[in-house]
Amino acid sequence: MAEKNYLRVVDIHMFKEPDEINKQQHHTDKYYNPKLIVRRGQPFQIQIDFSRPYEPEKDQIWLEYLIGRYPQPNKGTYIPILIGDVLKPGEWGAKIIHKENNSIRLSIMSSSTCIIGKFRFYVAIRTPYGIIRTHRNSATDTYILFNPWCQLDAVYLDDEKEREEYVLNDVGIVFHGDVNEVKLRSWSYGQFEENVLDACLFLMDKAELELSGRGNPIKICRVASAMINSKDENGVLAGSWDNLYAYGVPPSAWTGSVDILLEYYSSKQPVRYGQCWVFAGVFNTFLRCLGIPARLITNYSSAHDNNANLQLDFFLDDEGQVDNRLTKDSIWNYHCWNEAWMTRPDLPVGFGGWQAVDGTPQETSDGMYRCGPASVQAIKHGHVCFQFDAPFVYAEVNSDVIYSRMGKNGSQVIEKIDTTHIGRLIVTKGVGTDDMVDITENYKFQEGSAEERLALETAVMYGVKKQTTQPSTYQPQKDVEMDLQMQKAVLGSDFKVTIIFRNKSRNSYTATTYLSGNIVFYTGVTKSEFKKHSFSAKLGPLSSSAFDVMITSAEYLNDLLDQASFHFFVTARINETGKVLAMQKAMVLEIPILQIKTKGEMVVDREMSVVVEFTNPLKQALENVTLRLEGPGVLRTMKKEFRQIPATSTLIWEVKCIPKRPGLRKLIASLNCDALRHVYGELNIQIQKP
């Protein structure tokens, strides 16, 4: 008779609600996702209800986790788990922690090197009639993510405040502008929003990363740096740097990553358009969503060195103007990339920690547009032999700027070498604050120090190309210094540029001086020259002289680009010696901001109002203006179009929403039209519990 009374599964409880034990202990309670989400290498609990009490002596049961189409034990895609007495740290196992009536409660440990993804779950029972499994039930699907809280995980990070920032913070800050005028804007990462986790896992499917490689953060970062851009494999974002954004969203209009990832997940086609901070913002969402600690960093005066020879060549024509035909290298006002935190068992000891990864398509690596992970520590010390792409990142922060012109006999005459212009400042958002933190010294030693020279020699030894000897023809004018200063200016106003000479010699000199003002993309590529000015400067002995040049708004407004960036070149030839002084400086105009206010009480599940205001600063009307507003946990991205905002008039837009999550939240807004881009506003708000 006992045969008939074999054990059957009646129900399975996953304890998967945000306020239940699993999501609380695994720091996954913020994911807007009804299924169980746990982090690897850490125990979680489930309860199984049977048709009668479970008897370990005679009942034989086991659990099964499966992922992918063809689950196999040796690939880690089919995982059978027997019930034992103890759980070994970081290895698959299960043990009973409570037994009552017909139910057992299990504690299950996953492997700390387990594949990241969504697993199917079954309970199997051996009966006289063969093995009987529970039916396929998507409600028991279990997501397993990286675990920075687990010491055995390759992404383990030992500081709780840093884990809260680099894994759990769903908003961040992008620093942009330029080194003399740092600007910041908020970015919504939104890694916990609905469907974002599935969209991030989809990227690995689209890249055809084999399942067995999906437990390895190095492989995932390398694959993702290629998948974030559309260059090779129809990845997430198409880049556009030409100020023409037909049939797409201008990069400056995005306020966060969620819209981009969800659009890609549904259309499977590249989303238009991105520039560096958009690629980096989406990459950061991907990494944090899967549980890899990540941060977005900005390198000011970033070298884009076409032939990786650690020098950027600017060719001057006979007048001392830059020759755009010959000059192929460019200096980006700033460039954003990401750092991901992980051990590097593939490298010698000491190169784990922050790894530079870059999703912006600049140069190919092993035949694809991707970059990293490159150990930041290896870059600092010049050990650029270690994979991946360290020489390119080394050049971005360490190149020299060389000004030269073609001599009469076709030889190249070097006029000036600037060794400190590149990688002037490297920054990221602070932990738990909105402060800017200077991390330049993570990437390079103090300019001119013995350590810096040594790191450079090491990099050259490992094959970074560089002309090591200064050319004998290079003898700069040492007794005259030239500087360029710019008045801060709001977009639409006039301003002045001042050229200052300091003659430190006892001689009188005259300097034939050229100033060229250019409107540039933030990548340092010139669109148009809007100002040409030349004059002869008399430099008295042992004295300083200043010369002002006025720039009016009429000269620049028609051609202004996205980021209101100017680039000034000054070259001065000392007539008495024939020597040339040269320098360049970028400048960014102040762009007006959006004001955000709230009306009414701010309580979970109760309606509230958000008001966005903007005053047009220009002397002309703005046409076809798009506003975007978003705030993770408060409201999904809203868009509104305005046909026209007359000169100096104010626009007001009111939105109603129902916040879903308590705590400190951020609202982020952007305004875009052809005449004005990169207009942002933000507001921190406190949402109360009901």
Residues belonging to the binding site for Ca(2+) are: 398, 400, 447, 452
**Coil, strand or helix: which one is 176?**
strand
Q: Which residues pair with 669 in a beta bridge?
A: 629, 681
Q: Tell me which residues are annotated as active site.
A: 276, 335, 358
User: What is d(CA 61, CA 12) in angstroms, rounded to the nearest whole number?
Assistant: 14
Which residues are CB-contacts of 147 (< 8 A; sequence separation ≥ 6)?
A: 26, 39, 40, 41, 42, 112, 153, 155, 156, 291
**CA–CA distance from 112 to each of 149, 202, 218, 489 (Å)?**
11, 22, 15, 54
- Contact indicator for 204, 223 with CB cutoff of 8 Å: yes
User: What is d(CA 676, CA 649) in angstroms, rounded to the nearest whole number?
Assistant: 15
Which residues are documented as binding site?
A: 398, 400, 447, 452
Region label for 162, one of left (φ > 0), alpha (ψ between -120 and 50) or beta (otherwise): alpha
**Amino acid identity, position 236:** V
**Amino acid identity, position 374:** A
User: What is d(CA 66, CA 119) in angstroms, rounded to the nearest whole number?
Assistant: 5
Residue closest to 100 by CA, chosen among 47, 59, 44, 153: 47
- Contact indicator for 197, 117 with CB cutoff of 8 Å: no
Encode burial over 256-291: b for 16+ CB neighbours within 10 A, e otherwise: bbbbbbbbbbeeeebbbbbbbbbbbbbbbbbbbbbb
Q: Which residue has the tokens 């051990």?
A: 343
**CA–CA distance from 382 to each of 419, 462, 631 (Å)?**
16, 8, 42
Query: In this structure, what are the phi and psi dihedrals at residue 505, rounded to the nearest 5 degrees?
Result: -100, 175
With vertex at residue 368, the alpha carbon angle to CA 238 and CA 290, rounded to the nearest 5 degrees, is: 70
The continuous run of DSSP H or E covering 278 comes out as helix 276-290
